[in-house]
Amino acid sequence: METVTGFARWYGRRVPGEDRPRYAPPDGRTAPRYSGIKTFARCPTPLDPEGVDVAVLGIPFDTATTNRPGARFGPEAVRSASIALRPYNSVQRAPVFGRLSVADFGDLQVTPGNAEKTVGQIAAQLEPIVRAGVRTLCLGGDHLVVLGELRAHAAVHGPVGLVLLDAHADVWDLYCGERYYHGSPFRRALEEGLVDPARSLLAGMRGPVYEASDLDVPGDFGFQVIRGEELVTLRPEEYAAQVRERVGEGPLFLSFDVDVLDPAFAPGTGTPEAGGLTTREALGYVRALRGLRFSGFDVVEVSPPYDGPGQPTAIAAANVAYELLTLDVLAHA
């Protein structure tokens, strides 16, 4: 029925003969950006991964947080803020939505109150998408969700090299006796053989820790760490050079925890640490990774109830997600 409006018309699929990706947002110059159901960047929501380059998926889960909860609403907030993303990346000089077919597959099924089960659900739902050759961009959710993501990617590609930007290395062990919480995903991932520490670089760690030995743990596990106070002394290209040298050849995964930003830039997060990166710095480090090819990405720990009225955290996270998509465009150009 031709005249039916709204969701159907704006978020339509590619018109045959048109030179644009199969799935892309409506044009913000004719469909006001604040209109339409809030999918990521107002991308379409197809039923299967056919013809999709990157699948965006929300993981609305925060059972595993140790301080401020709320990340279960992270996917909604990042989608809401993502409406302002226009198709062309002006710094990277790259078309994004003009080249990449991006679909929003909605949220993964999770089990509130049961972290271990949820990790399994995430892996089970993601694996077929990864196996279909689609790159995944997950919106957290607390950082434990990355464990499910890594299981899916490792199942398809083998152990991945991890590029992490985060205020915490997240390699702690137990929390109040629990093994699955947002401070432990990378320790669990190591134990499960999902990550290759020798091809991984964790950067941005800062803030107090429980004891001196906490600082040695990642290295003991074989990870390279660039702590926050060192990171800020590096130019983006210097950081990227270290990453490139470290990751070598093989499958890669990039995880971005918004708490790597200072609480002034990302107040809406669960475990804020004073003295972090500015958004501009973080975008610079991400952009410098151009050329690297990742099989999966995530942006996690956005907690909307702690964000300001102007949503600076969600805006920063949406822009990081956009830069991750741009990395994908540049890697597959």
The C-alpha atoms of residue 102 and residue 104 are separated, in whole angstroms, by: 7
Residue placing its CB nearer to its own copies in the complex, 28 or 234: 28
* Contact with its own copies (CB under 8 A) among 84, 155, 217, 234: 84
* Contact with its own copies (CB under 8 A) among 206, 247, 289, 297: 206
**Residue 81 CB partners (closer than 8 Å, separation 6+):** 311, 314, 315, 317, 318
Instruction: Say which residue the tokens 């290295």 belong to.
Output: 219
Residues 79 and 31: beta-carbon distance below 8 Å = no
* Shortest reach from residue 280's CB to its own copies, in Å: 4
Is 86 an interacting residue with respect to its own copies (CB under 8 A)?
yes
Is 300 an interacting residue with respect to its own copies (CB under 8 A)?
no
Is 87 an interacting residue with respect to its own copies (CB under 8 A)?
yes
Is 19 an interacting residue with respect to its own copies (CB under 8 A)?
no
Is 200 an interacting residue with respect to its own copies (CB under 8 A)?
no
309: buried, middle or exposed (CB in 10 Å: 19+, 13-18, 0-12)?
exposed
Token digits of residue 44: 């379409």
The C-alpha atoms of residue 297 and residue 163 are separated, in whole angstroms, by: 10
- The site for its own copies, by CB under 8 A, has a size of 132
Residue placing its CB nearer to its own copies in the complex, 196 or 323: 323
Is 89 an interacting residue with respect to its own copies (CB under 8 A)?
yes
The C-alpha atoms of residue 199 and residue 250 are separated, in whole angstroms, by: 9
Is 242 an interacting residue with respect to its own copies (CB under 8 A)?
no
* Shortest reach from residue 249's CB to its own copies, in Å: 29
Residues 96 and 107: beta-carbon distance below 8 Å = no
Contacts to its own copies from residues 104-143, by CB under 8 A: 104-115, 117, 124-129, 132
Residue placing its CB nearer to its own copies in the complex, 196 or 307: 307
Contacts to its own copies from residues 39-78, by CB under 8 A: 39, 45-50, 57-58, 60, 62-70, 72-73, 76
Amino acid at 255: S
Is 189 an interacting residue with respect to its own copies (CB under 8 A)?
no
The C-alpha atoms of residue 290 and residue 329 are separated, in whole angstroms, by: 9
Is 82 an interacting residue with respect to its own copies (CB under 8 A)?
no
Token digits of residue 330: 């540049």
